[in-house]
Amino acid sequence: MIPFKNEVKNMRYMNKKGQGAMEYLMTYGWAIMVVLIVGIVLWQLGIFNLGGTSKTFTGFGAVKPLSWAVPGGDEQSGVVTMVNGEGSTVTPSGCSISFSDVDVSCENCTISATSVGAGSEFLINLTNCSGGLSGDSYDATLSVNYTKRIGIITEPHTSTGNLKGPFE
Provide block-wise average pLDDT over 10 residues at a time, the chain (168 residues).
Answer: 55 62 83 92 76 78 87 77 89 89 80 87 86 79 90 90 85
Q: What is the pLDDT of residue 25?
A: 80
Residue 103 main-chain phi, psi, to 5 deg: -85, -5
- C-alpha 132/C-alpha 48 separation (Å) is 24
Task: State whether 60 and 45 are in the same domain.
Answer: no
Task: State whether 158 and 138 are in the same domain.
Answer: yes
The domain in which residue 150 lies consists of: 56-166
Task: State whether 34 and 84 are in the same domain.
Answer: no
Q: What is the pLDDT of residue 35?
A: 93
Number of domains, the chain: 2
Task: State whether 62 and 102 are in the same domain.
Answer: yes
Task: State whether 61 and 30 are in the same domain.
Answer: no
Domain with 107 in it: what CATH number?
Answer: 2.60.40
- C-alpha 113/C-alpha 23 separation (Å) is 68
Task: State whether 77 and 157 are in the same domain.
Answer: yes
Q: What is the pLDDT of residue 2?
A: 53
**What DSSP string runs through 13-35?**
HHHHHHHHHHHHHHHHHHHHHHH
Task: State whether 78 and 37 are in the same domain.
Answer: no
Task: State whether 19 and 67 are in the same domain.
Answer: no
Q: What is the pLDDT of residue 146?
A: 93
Task: State whether 83 and 40 are in the same domain.
Answer: no
